[in-house]
Chain A
Amino acid sequence: MSRPDEPEARDLVARLNAGKLSRRDFVTRASALGISTGAIGSILAACGGDEEVAPPPAETPPAETEPPAETEPPSETAPPAETEPPAAGDPADIAVVAAKAHAGYTVKVTYEGGLQALDPKNFSGPLWEELTGIKTQVIELPFPELYSKPIAEHIATSGAFDILDVPPPNIPSFVEGGVVAPIDDLIEQFGYGPAQEDVHPLYRALGTYKGQTYGIFDDGDMFALYYRKDIFEDPELMSAHESELGRPLAPPTTWDEYTETATFLTGKLAPDVYGAGAFRKQGSPGNQFAFFQQLRANGGTFFDPETMDAVINSDAGVKSLEQMLAVNKASIPGVEELDAVGQWTAWLQGKLAMIFSWPPTGRMSENYSQRDESFSFIPESTIVGKVGYAIMPQLNGEHAGGFVKCISADSKNLEAAYLTVQWLTSPSISLQRVTLPYALRDPYRISHFTSEEYGSLWPGAKDYLAMLNDAANNGVIDLIMPAAADYSFAIDRACSAVWGGEDPKRALDNAAAEWNKITDQTGRDKQKDAYAAFLTLPGATAENTIAALGQALTL
């Protein structure tokens, strides 16, 4: 048995990095050395692109944050699938064995262009080909085209795609339009059922529509609160906070507290540190996520389910928008111009005491992502080890975005396509994918949340995972129905109009009028059915989060 850090293996890695060894040769030789496929994948991932080597892990992160390959004894992982029959339970191995029958086929996979596509291009695609002979062709699309392209290709029945990366709001339209194939039978046939049970129930439901399964969830995009422990545990600030606000300095539990604490911290620490930051710039990626989150946390909903009139301009809606406005005032100056990356930059440079954002925040804060060149747009973290995690104020965080892997109904080889998805999302492979340094895929399985490997990536990683699970328990989901993009755009515009000086109530009244028009244009009856279906999903409102339904997962 050989470990990757032994001389031979090290030599292999060095040659791979120097470009003297192709990925294919590397995998073959590494297998010969007895390195598990899992470890090989991690090494390939850590090596990133072909040209430049990621900064050596030893430089910045503490020893505990070494990539999984180097801490994991190879004996833990199954030996290469070629040599032994698959372990009965591991869907990855089942997929590998069954997929060999399709060697030579090329699966065409859609991905959002740019960073998201690095995983299939650099890691999972090459590895899958090594294991099964199935090639992966990545089709990078801008976000709106993840909706339009599959529909267009389906109308043309071109068979241009095998696997679709589908944002959950697109699922109803895709199913109704026959764009995606149901996969319940395939799940049954290839023993994926238990692995589905391992997906957090909030997420599991997102791959289903009207009781059938159309896709496997693949990206747990929960918003959560990240705060600076060093600031929140500063004795002077703690006592000042207590005496000024009458409660201890702690992660806020309501949005009003959030504003108060942010204002307090800005008052004490500006201009070095501001109480909060947010991404409020129109279309980057949009204010709808934050508004939908707070609307539900404040007890609001989207429509009257009887009449389908928009009710976003209810008291809860107005209150949410006013709270958001108050948060802006308490935040770093220019917050209205910040996009998600701008917010991260400020956060990583230590200028913000609290932010809420997507899960990569946790990994970037510990400098885990920055070891890859492709993350060169994010600064090195100056707050390593200082970041605490909490769920959102008022419990309900938005599951903002996310991806479900679906099979195109026009795929020329449904089985190969399905097996690829099964392998990609299987507990063992998906764990590697969510721990890639450059990953934008976030933990979504119970086995991710409890993973020792993930939990040892940095000292606080266990807390991070526990928080992500908790956030999902209390999470609310994006609006999922036809014309979801129309509704979201209207909200985004309403919010940015308010940042520009518009009255919140008026802005929401306008947005509600726009919503009603969208509903009429899309078909009121049709939308009524769609909304009723949406309300059955966990997380559609604050009343039916996983936790409220009594199904909360404890790790």
Chain B
Amino acid sequence: MAAVGARARKPRPSGAERMILGRRLRVEGVLRFAFIGLFLLFLLGPLYWVFVTSIKPVADYQTVPPVWFPDSPTSIHFSAALNDLRGWTGLKNSAIVAGIVTVVSVLVGTAAAYSMARFRTGGKNLAFWVLSQRIMPPIAVVIPIFLIYRELDLIDNRFGLAALYVVFTLPFSIWMMYTYFRQMPVELEEAALVDGCTRWQALWKVAWPLAAPGIVSAAAFAFVFSWTEFLFALVLTSNEAVTVPVVISQFLAFQAAQFGESSALSLCAMVPALFLGFLVQKHLVRGLTLGAVQG
């Protein structure tokens, strides 16, 4: 894999090589596609291996040379991981938590973003303050949260975890929607107000529907964050509220390197997030950069 970095420099032909234009283009094209191909391999290799591991009988685990595809694929890792070892529980909890977070984060985030975009509420300071939440290292928050949740009996509680996720997705939701509302013409809402709408109605019936595409992406971001987050879940859930990443990590912890089981559950856990990922592709860049870069 180290070769990727080394080869990477080649696709840009140095100016010193003065070749005939056609030939240079061809060489450049070959290098370009070779680089893309290499990266694709680097990307898909691990995915293939995890897939093979999930259907590999354990007898094929430590063979030399490695078994690239098992002669007799098995589904036992899937059924063991899902049924015997809490896979379903994890998936169910993750779905519930992510569902709650998605709805709440989008509602709360949209409202705040609308206010900040339309009325400059809180001015720069509020905006900066929200953004600074994005810097906060989770480990700094999770220790006191753990102690406080203990008092409130919110440990190992889906709602406790969801509340925390809402807060950590708010910078996403707010900033995405903020940039969205800023670009939306104010005239439509003004017209609605003139027509006798209340402020609420102007938001709910005019601005909100217009912002729908942005809302969908903000929702997807909130979902993906909640679905994939690990540290909070590791600390705050263990039994009833245990989420998928925690279950997977326990397949690899302590005595049990349950490779097949962890691969099987990983594959199951990847599906919904990937689906949403495809859905929000158009708004991905805006989301990743909290609106700083327009994709």
A contacts B directly in the complex (CB < 8 Å)? yes
Q: Which residues of A pack against B, CB within 8 Å?
A: 48-52, 112-115, 118, 139-143, 145, 149, 152, 155-156, 158, 271, 283-285, 339-342, 345-346, 349, 351, 373-374, 376-380
Contact B253 A341 (CB under 8 A): no
In the complex with contacts A142-B250, A158-B153, A377-B59 CB distance below 8 A:
no
Complex contacts, B155 vs chain A, CB 8 Å: 152
Q: How far is the CA of A52 from the CA of B256 in the complex (A)?
A: 22
A-B contact pairs, 27 of them (CB 8 A): A49-B83, A49-B84, A50-B83, A52-B79, A114-B250, A114-B251, A140-B86, A140-B242, A142-B238, A142-B253, A143-B253, A143-B254, A152-B155, A284-B253, A340-B257, A341-B256, A341-B257, A345-B58, A349-B59, A373-B76, A373-B84, A376-B260, A377-B256, A377-B259, A378-B58, A379-B61, A380-B58
Complex contacts, B254 vs chain A, CB 8 Å: 112, 143, 284-285
A372 to B, closest residue via Cβ? B84
B231-243 interface mask toward A, CB cutoff 8 Å, 1 = contact, 0 = none? 0000000111010
In the complex with contacts A139-B239, A145-B238, A158-B153, A345-B62 CB distance below 8 A:
yes
In the complex with contacts A113-B250, A118-B84, A377-B261, A149-B238 CB distance below 8 A:
yes
Contact A113 B238 (CB under 8 A): yes
Of the candidates B59, B62, B153, B238, which one forms a contact with A156 in the assembled complex, judged by CB atoms under 8 Å apart? B153
20 further contact pairs, Cβ within 8 A, besides A139-B240, A158-B153, A342-B257: A48-B84, A51-B79, A113-B239, A113-B242, A113-B250, A142-B238, A143-B254, A283-B253, A284-B254, A284-B255, A339-B255, A340-B255, A341-B258, A342-B62, A349-B59, A373-B79, A376-B58, A377-B80, A377-B256, A377-B257
Q: How far is the CA of A115 from the CA of B239 in the complex (A)?
A: 14
B235 to A, closest residue via Cβ? A145
CB-based closest 4 A-B pairs: A379-B58, A377-B258, A374-B84, A341-B257
Contact A141 B256 (CB under 8 A): no
Q: How far is the CA of A271 from the CA of B65 in the complex (A)?
A: 12
In the complex with contacts A156-B150, A341-B256, A114-B238 CB distance below 8 A:
no
Complex contacts, B253 vs chain A, CB 8 Å: 142-143, 283-284
Instruction: Tell me whether chain B's interface is mostly helix, strand or loop, or mixed.
Output: loop
Q: Which residues of B pack against A, CB within 8 Å?
A: 57-59, 61-62, 64, 74, 76-77, 79-80, 83-86, 150-151, 153, 155, 238-240, 242, 250-251, 253-261
Complex contacts, B76 vs chain A, CB 8 Å: 373, 376
Contact B58 A51 (CB under 8 A): no
Q: How far is the CA of A283 from the CA of B249 in the complex (A)?
A: 13
Q: Smallest distance from the beta carbon of A267 to chain B beta carbons, Å?
A: 19
B74 to A, closest residue via Cβ? A376
Q: Smallest distance from the beta carbon of B161 to chain A beta carbons, Å?
A: 15
Q: How far is the CA of A112 from the CA of B85 in the complex (A)?
A: 12
Contact B84 A113 (CB under 8 A): no
Complex contacts, A345 vs chain B, CB 8 Å: 58, 61-62
Contact A284 B153 (CB under 8 A): no
Q: How far is the CA of A51 from the CA of B255 in the complex (A)?
A: 26
Complex contacts, A139 vs chain B, CB 8 Å: 238-240
Contact B77 A376 (CB under 8 A): yes
Q: Smallest distance from the beta carbon of A145 to chain B beta carbons, Å?
A: 6
Q: How far is the CA of A373 from the CA of B260 in the complex (A)?
A: 13
Contact B58 A113 (CB under 8 A): no
Q: Smallest distance from the beta carbon of B73 to chain A beta carbons, Å?
A: 13
B78 to A, closest residue via Cβ? A376
Q: How far is the CA of A380 from the CA of B57 in the complex (A)?
A: 9
Complex contacts, A271 vs chain B, CB 8 Å: 64
Complex contacts, A156 vs chain B, CB 8 Å: 150-151, 153
Contact B58 A377 (CB under 8 A): yes
Q: How far is the CA of A351 from the CA of B242 in the complex (A)?
A: 37
Q: Smallest distance from the beta carbon of A47 to chain B beta carbons, Å?
A: 13
Q: Smallest distance from the beta carbon of B252 to chain A beta carbons, Å?
A: 8
Q: Smallest distance from the beta carbon of A423 to chain B beta carbons, Å?
A: 23
A382 to B, closest residue via Cβ? B59
Complex contacts, A346 vs chain B, CB 8 Å: 62
Q: Smallest distance from the beta carbon of B111 to chain A beta carbons, Å?
A: 35
Q: How far is the CA of A340 from the CA of B250 in the complex (A)?
A: 14
Q: Smallest distance from the beta carbon of B246 to chain A beta carbons, Å?
A: 8
Q: How far is the CA of A149 from the CA of B64 in the complex (A)?
A: 43
Contact B257 A339 (CB under 8 A): yes
Complex contacts, B258 vs chain A, CB 8 Å: 341, 377
Q: How far is the CA of A342 from the CA of B260 in the complex (A)?
A: 12
Q: Smallest distance from the beta carbon of A399 to chain B beta carbons, Å?
A: 16
Q: How far is the CA of A59 from the CA of B258 in the complex (A)?
A: 24
Q: How far is the CA of A149 from the CA of B76 in the complex (A)?
A: 33
A160 to B, closest residue via Cβ? B153
Q: Smallest distance from the beta carbon of B108 to chain A beta carbons, Å?
A: 30
Complex contacts, B77 vs chain A, CB 8 Å: 376-377
Q: How far is the CA of A339 from the CA of B253 in the complex (A)?
A: 9
A153 to B, closest residue via Cβ? B150
Contact A376 B59 (CB under 8 A): no
Contact A141 B239 (CB under 8 A): yes
Complex contacts, A113 vs chain B, CB 8 Å: 86, 238-239, 242, 250
